[in-house]
Structure 1
């Protein structure tokens, strides 16, 4: 099986050519007047890079210890921007609903409500007529009782129609103009006890580099998905209506109870390979550097918080990491 190493030595007053090695012998060491690399592992063919003091100065290499921060960890959930219910007991409206079916149901409910109103008007006139006939001893008491019963049924039917229509929310055509937005966050029921639901959450779009917004939880109607095993949490978007649109998918980071310790390095220390892997360069000896895999949990205040990395005592390169990456893999 053939293994390939691509090493491009950074020009430090002279140009170094790209080197490609075929079948690798048991150990490989490449060196020049300024730089020496040596194979030390197999994960993406790690190399130990040794620089001369002059090379370090020319590349602008700077390094420092990893810091440990007490942070509040959070868990990310995908969510959706929805319209809050207008009636008590109603459910938020989202674009996951079939809007054409919803609009059809709303039209049908409007018709049922108008029909019930008309029936109530007729029943009221019949009841008034029956009462007048009884008063003038021209009608039967039984006919009066039947008219009053029909009036009560008509009133009940109208009340039912009005409640059914209120549960369907605002008309589909007016949703975009509705001056209120919520975010519906489906959360697995097993995760609820670990979340700090009293603390504000962080909301952002799904695009890379999107700004994060602080949102606070609101008491929405109880809703859940029995098949998925999730319950819904709701957060208000009152202050960010112009930023997020109805139906937009967003990411919500909800804090986890209790503080945790996380290793932190400057964001400039992180380099990424073509597969999205995240790495840092660690100074293991004077003028000697090795690439180590890390996983960035989040970036804040110019620092990258590491989710998984044994970096407690590491001396990490925070300036010149990209130049070391180019030295190891080659630049064109």
Structure 2
């Protein structure tokens, strides 16, 4: 028994030694890839700065009107004040069929109104010649009034169906339906114009004036629809097209302002400026743009007042830093 215990003891010691010597794998490993505080510092000779046309300005305070960007959809305005806009989800085949029926009803009531007017004129002439009864004239007048009322109702029903389906793509003025969260509607300046921007940044933004439309909302998404009229004389916008709508809000935002030409954006959407740190030294510094208007960019963060930033030649500096030709 004693010999058996002496045999087991070295085996146990050997097993413990193997467990202790096995290296453990950490659950996570962090490796430093880049640090924005260690960006390249560009040093340009005065002659190089002159050749690139480098110009700088001092960062100062500024303010900008508050805005809120929401999604919008291009729709066709109604032909009357009480009509409903035609959007991309409308069944155009059904609308076209209803318009054809409404056009026929308008033609029928117009014919009845003409006949009623002729009958009234004849009855009035007979009364003047003392060859007809006053009762017949009054009945003709009532029939004419009824025909006019039917004609007015038929025309109004046709206007509610909007413009003809065949002309939907040729409208010189279109509407934009902007979906705004119910909690933000109160802050929107309803009497001010909005800016419409195509998605993807293709094309310049265009202004749109507010218009009155039948109330509509989405209870599931919690949004309320606001409508704006936009000029489409160049036929650049299409019915159903999604756009970005920049809505004006009450109040102004205070911050530091730089010319928009000072902002350079990388392929990931990052926003930068080139700050002049010495007589001939420039360093790229990240900023965050809160809004842009009138060629000025209001910064949310990234710079301090009094800093010198490059306003002309930012693209050339960007190309110099990364070795791209300009």
Q: TM-score over 0.5 for the alignment?
A: yes
Give the whole-Å Cα distance in 2 for the aligned partners of 1:322 and 1:173.
Answer: 48
Which of these residues, 304, 309, 313, is aligned with residue 320 of structure 1? 313
Distance 1:241 1:185, change over 3 A: farther
1:182 corresponds in structure 2 to: 175
Give per-residue Cα distances to partners, 1:32-75, cap 9 Å, x unaligned.
xxxxxxx9x61396223344555545544332211322221222
- Cα offset, 1:217, TM superposition: 1.0
> 1 CA distance for matches of 2:167 and 2:317?
57
Match of 2:191 among 174, 194, 198: 198
Aligned residues: 259
CA distance 1:220–1:62, shift in 2 (3 Å): same
Alpha-carbon distance change, 102 to 331 in structure 1, aligned in 2, over 3 angstroms: same
Shift of 1:187: 1.3
* Residue 221 (structure 1) shift: 0.8
Task: Determine which structure has the larger helix proportion and give its number.
Answer: 2
* 1:233 equivalent among 201, 209, 226: 226
Using the size of structure 2 for normalisation, the TM-score is 0.63
Partner SS, residue 166 of structure 2: helix
Question: Residues 61 and 211 from structure 1, CA distance in 2 versus in 1: closer, same or farther, beyond 3 angstroms?
Answer: closer
Unaligned runs of 5+ in 2: 1-31, 110-149
TM-score, normalising length: structure 1: 0.62
Q: Which residue of 1 aligns with 2:265?
A: 272
Q: Give the structure 1 partner of residue 132 of structure 2.
A: none
Q: Distance in 1 between matches of 2:103 and 2:55?
A: 71
Aligned to 1:43: 36
* Structure whose alpha-carbon radius of gyration is higher: 2
Partner-residue secondary structure (3-state), 2:275: strand
Structure 2 counterpart SS, 1:324: helix
Indicate yes or no: 2:95 matched with 1:102: yes
Q: Quick check: 1:83–1:246 contact (8 Å CA) kept in 2? A: no
